[in-house]
A and B are shown apart, each in its own frame.
Chain A
Amino acid sequence: MGDFLSQFGELFAAYDVPGAFWVNIQLTFWAAIFSLILGTVLALMRISPIASLQWAGATYVNILRNTPLTVIMTFLFLAVWTQLQISLSDDFAQNFFRFGVIGLTVYHAAFVCESIRSGVNTVPLGQAEAARAIGLSFLPAARLIILPQAFRGAIAPLGNTLIALLKNSTVVVAVSVSTETSTLMREMIESNANFIYAIFMIFAIGFAVLVIPIGLLTTFLSNRLAVRR
């Protein structure tokens, strides 16, 4: 045990472990915001009365949800950046970071959309009918009546998506974001193969420490904010 602790000390002294986690937290933060926005738009399309929008929303979800995240990231890196030479920032690291956020966003928006749709299913049809009956058209009815209740019903699945997003943020290594945890873990293993268990534990515990509060918080909020009927 004492041996383990000294290994931890040595590793933390040699590498910026909190800094690497901080990169994943930042990636997750931005991707969570953008995927929540995009996912909400997609969910609105899927529940809208317009058939072409429903189709477009469903097609997006089915394509992005069924594509491995690594493939999306590699596509952004090789096709969009290398081939099309589309750059998002003059700063190299910032450019890759933004591609990472885009990849995480487009992928997780599909899951956010489906989480919100499951939330919409918790709202009785009568709520939409009552909204229409007082003269609200689709968008105001969605904004004022359906979505506020749907979000409250979707907190648990949205929390699951956020947890997946945080862990999936390590896949940005495929767009050359080189400061995040999985890259750091590989570096540490390469030069400290004898510390392998300590290294694994650092990252396993690190993610658990980040993820467990998210789970607790979403469970608490989904009970707290549940719409009483």
Chain B
Amino acid sequence: MDHGDATTTTDPAEASSSLGAPLVELKNVNKHFGELHVLQDIDLTVRRGEVLVVIGPSGSGKSTLCRAINRLETIDSGEIRIDGVPLPEEGKALAKLRADVGMVFQAFNLFAHKTILENVTLGPVKVRRQRSSAAKERALELLDRVGVKNQAQKMPAQLSGGQQQRVAIARALAMKPKVMLFDEPTSALDPEMINEVLDVMVALAKEGMTMIVVTHEMGFARKAANRVVFMADGQIVEEATPEEFFTAPKSDRAKDFLSKILSH
């Protein structure tokens, strides 16, 4: 895995200074799955243009955190705001807000009965009410950008995992989202396909997209992230720049975790 070097790594201090107003704000967020307290008093602010990597052992609540931001998981208490607006409970207002939040899943979740092109145009046409010719044109542009334009007429099952995940990114981008959520986007991929997805994500980060990325890919964190949040047992244990976090973690939990994933 590419660990990056000084020339390719974004300088965290410089990057932080160019960040905008708060875009995603979580205040005192709590969530239980039965007895299990999966999110404990989570406070987190992500600014416009920021790339945040959430890292942590499995069961730490990082996926739940990511999914709570567009209310695929409900929360028990606390507040989540996107661009200043509290997450609506249900119905049209929630659907409208979700349209502004792009989501990329671990299992891709491309619509299995639709072609690649239809997967990307469906949201713009049915939610944004764009003319289908305009939506198609933009979809082909996006598919070209993620390198799968030549697959536009195929069905999802005909594509490799890496290709499917890049289509899923294009599908989310077609909605012109304010922020993109990535829930372990490379965890279900074969090793040789991970980089083609990460390359797209790094390019997106460089263009200034606000991103919240749950991942274990340290190469990506070093190349593209402004900040790393380390979660364990439903709590945010540590927040730091990627460089600080990977070279000099402060908490014992983080040291322990990193020693396990770096020892090979």
A130 at the interface (CB under 8 A from B): yes
14 pairs, A vs B, C-beta closer than 8 Å: A49-B90, A129-B72, A132-B95, A132-B98, A133-B101, A134-B127, A134-B175, A135-B95, A135-B97, A135-B98, A135-B123, A135-B175, A140-B127, A144-B126
**Which of A134, A145, A148 has a CB less than 8 Å from the CB of B171?**
A134
Interface size bracket, B side: 20 to 34
Q: Mark B156-183, 1 if CB is under 8 A from A, else 0.
A: 0110000000001001100100000000
Q: A127-B112, A133-B72, A140-B126 given as contacts; is B157 within 8 A of A229 (CB)?
A: yes
Residues of A whose CB lies within 8 Å of any CB of B are 49, 124, 126-127, 129-137, 140, 144-145, 148-149, 152, 227-229
State whether A145 touches B95 (Cβ < 8 A): no
B209 at the interface (CB under 8 A from A): no
State whether B98 touches A148 (Cβ < 8 A): no
Which secondary structure dominates where chain A touches chain B?
A: helix
- Closest Cβ of chain A to B169, distance in Å, is 12
- What is the number of contacts between chain A and chain B, taking CB atoms within 8 Å? 74
Q: A135-B123, A144-B126 given as contacts; is B109 within 8 A of A129 (CB)?
A: yes
State whether B112 touches A133 (Cβ < 8 A): no
- Closest Cβ of chain B to A46, distance in Å, is 18
B44 at the interface (CB under 8 A from A): no
- Closest Cβ of chain A to B82, distance in Å, is 13
**Which of B92, B100, B113 has a CB less than 8 Å from the CB of A148?**
B113
State whether B107 touches A133 (Cβ < 8 A): no
CA distance A134 to B120 in the complex (A): 10
Q: Mark B99-137, 1 if CB is under 8 A from A, else 0.
A: 111110101111111000000001100110000000000
With a CB–CB cut-off of 8 A, which chain A residues contact B91?
Answer: 137
Q: A49-B90, A130-B105 given as contacts; is B95 within 8 A of A136 (CB)?
A: yes
- Closest Cβ of chain B to A188, distance in Å, is 49
